[in-house]
């Protein structure tokens, strides 16, 4: 069976759209209708006309699409593709922290559970986080779950007081300063591009810090040739496609998010064939989480 052809056929029959994050396997990115960073995919999921969304990414992404479009069927092909960082904050603890800081607004990274989104004032992604914090009507902000993105925002917006959660991405944590220094010493004119989920010492040595899409855009518009990519290796697929004559290096020969790599072609085929694995969100929680996601789309514009 030609899986790619079968997926295309089923997709038409079911009036479905396939969305894939840049960390997905190359063959998954190739069959997707849209590939992007978290913000772009969230926007496409919200605005698309298709009734079925096959979300090739991790659970919080598919849940965010369902929160924004409850009338659509949202499918997560790899049922156990989660995000360990999203699970580092639970809503009860967030509310406890809020009690200690009653004047603070809660801003959650989109990499969080639906319950945490429901108790947050606004959501953000790595590409709009700085703008959201600048635009939010509060001087004190509880930011969660990523302490690294949080401290990056604090550096960009020093006038606001950020109270940071202690979560982190287990994938980006593997990118070390030593590795980057070693690469810088051995490769001439090497440009360092890092995701804000990286540790501070890595961000500090980087020439540019941004979301996956921003990293791709930066490398593509740059006149330089050699880049060290401080994020998950799936992004190399798009980088190489857009820049066949440039050279991309990775720390440790590539760092991989095991959850993002769980989706394989047969899962996408089965998702379309059997309507699996459908995302369901409790309606009371969804309505509250919808507010924080919609505010992100308004404040982040
Ligand atoms: P972005 O694509 O928004 O940069 O997100 C990175 C990420 O870690 C998604 O899990
Ligand atoms: Fe979560 Fe990090 Fe994987 Fe993104 S790369 S899904 S933040 S563990």
Distance in Å, CA 257 to ligand 2 centroid: 6
Average pLDDT over residues 78-86: 98
Is 211 near ligand 1, meaning CB less than 6 Å away? yes
Using CA atoms, how far apart are residues 107 and 132, in angstroms rounded to an integer? 9
Using CA atoms, how far apart are residues 154 and 21, in angstroms rounded to an integer? 26
CATH of 86-168+287-299, one of 3.40.640.10, 3.40.50.10800, 3.40.50.20, 1.10.533.10: 3.40.50.10800
Is the predicted pLDDT of residue 300 greater than 90, yes or no?
A: no
Which residue, by CA, sits nearest to atom 7 of ligand 2? 169
Q: pTM of the prediction? A: 0.97
Distance in Å, CA 32 to ligand 2 centroid: 20
Is 125 near ligand 1, meaning CB less than 6 Å away? yes
Q: Token pair of 95, please?
A: 């509310």
**Does residue 83 have a known ligand-binding role?**
yes
pLDDT digits (tens, 9 = 90+) for 129-171: 999 999 999 999 999 999 999 999 999 999 999 999 999 999 9
CATH of 172-253, one of 3.40.50.150, 3.30.110.30, 3.40.50.10800, 3.40.50.300: 3.40.50.10800
Intervals of CATH 3.40.50.10800 along the chain: 3-81+261-280, 86-168+287-299, 172-253
Looking at the DSSP bridge assignments, the partners of residue 264 are none
Residue 301 — pLDDT band, cuts 50, 70, 90? confident
The CATH superfamily of 3-81+261-280 is NadA-like (3.40.50.10800)
The ligand 2 site (C-beta within 6 Å) comprises 58, 83-85, 111, 169-171, 197, 232, 257, 259-260
Using CA atoms, how far apart are residues 27 and 36, in angstroms rounded to an integer? 15
Distance in Å, CA 222 to ligand 2 centroid: 27
Percent of the chain with pLDDT strictly greater than 90: 98
* Phi-psi label, residue 249: left if phi above 0, alpha if psi -120 to 50, beta otherwise: beta
pLDDT score of 274: 98
In order of 47, 175, 178, 187, 211, the CA distances from 183 in angstroms are 42, 12, 9, 6, 22
**Does residue 257 have a known ligand-binding role?**
yes
Mean pLDDT of all residues in the chain?
A: 97
pLDDT digits (tens, 9 = 90+) for 166-204: 999 999 999 999 999 999 999 999 999 999 999 999 999
Using CA atoms, how far apart are residues 286 and 117, in angstroms rounded to an integer? 9
Pairing, β 247-249 against β 52-56: unpaired
Pairing, β 122-124 against β 105-109: parallel
**Does residue 245 have a known ligand-binding role?**
no
pLDDT digits (tens, 9 = 90+) for 227-274: 999 999 999 999 999 999 999 999 999 999 999 999 999 999 999 999
Three-state SS sequence of 65-124: HHHHCCCCEEECCCCCCCCCCHHHCCHHHHHHHHHHCCCCEEEEECCCCHHHHHCCCEEE
Is the predicted pLDDT of residue 225 greater than 90, yes or no?
A: yes
- The 8-class DSSP code of residue 223 comes to S
Looking at the DSSP bridge assignments, the partners of residue 75 are 54, 278
Alpha-helical segments (H) within the chain: 3-13, 26-31, 38-47, 59-68, 91-100, 114-118, 129-135, 147-156, 177-186, 200-205, 212-221, 236-242, 265-274, 283-299
Cβ(63)–Cβ(279) under 8 Å? yes
Cβ(154)–Cβ(134) under 8 Å? no
Closest to 53 in 3D by CA, of 39, 38, 37, 32: 32
Cβ(66)–Cβ(45) under 8 Å? no
**Does residue 197 have a known ligand-binding role?**
yes
Distance in Å, CA 117 to ligand 1 centroid: 17
């Amino acid at each position: 069976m030609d899986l790619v052809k079968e997926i295309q056929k089923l997709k038409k029959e079911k009036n479905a759209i396939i969305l894939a994050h840049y960390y997905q396997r190359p063959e998954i990115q190739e069959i997707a209708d849209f590939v992007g960073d978290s913000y772009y995919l969230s926007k496409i999921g919200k605005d698309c006309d298709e009734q079925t969304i096959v979300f090739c990414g991790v659970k919080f992404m598919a849940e965010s699409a369902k929160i924004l479009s409850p009338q659509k069927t949202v499918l997560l092909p790899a049922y156990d593709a989660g995000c360990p960082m999203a699970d580092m904050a639970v809503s009860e603890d967030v509310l406890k922290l809020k009690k200690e800081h009653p004047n603070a607004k809660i801003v959650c990274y989109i990499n969080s559970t639906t319950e945490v989104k429901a108790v947050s004032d606004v959501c953000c992604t790595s590409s709009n986080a700085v703008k959201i914090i600048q635009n939010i009507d509060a001087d004190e902000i509880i930011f969660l779950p990523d302490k690294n993105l949080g401290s990056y925002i604090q550096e960009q917006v020093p006038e606001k007081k950020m109270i940071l959660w202690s979560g982190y991405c287990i994938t980006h944590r593997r990118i070390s300063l030593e590795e980057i220094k070693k690469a810088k010493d051995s490769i001439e004119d090497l440009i360092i591009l890092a995701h804000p989920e990286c540790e501070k010492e890595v961000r500090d040595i980087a020439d540019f810090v941004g979301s996956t899409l921003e990293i791709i855009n930066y490398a593509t518009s740059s006149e330089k040739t050699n880049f060290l990519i401080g994020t998950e290796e799936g992004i190399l697929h798009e980088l190489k496609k857009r820049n066949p004559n440039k050279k991309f290096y990775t720390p440790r020969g590539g760092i991989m998010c095991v959850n993002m790599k769980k989706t394989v072609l047969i899962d996408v085929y089965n998702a379309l064939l059997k309507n699996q694995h459908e995302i369901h969100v409790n309606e009371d929680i969804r309505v509250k989480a919808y507010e924080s996601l919609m505010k992100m789309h308004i404040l982040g514009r």
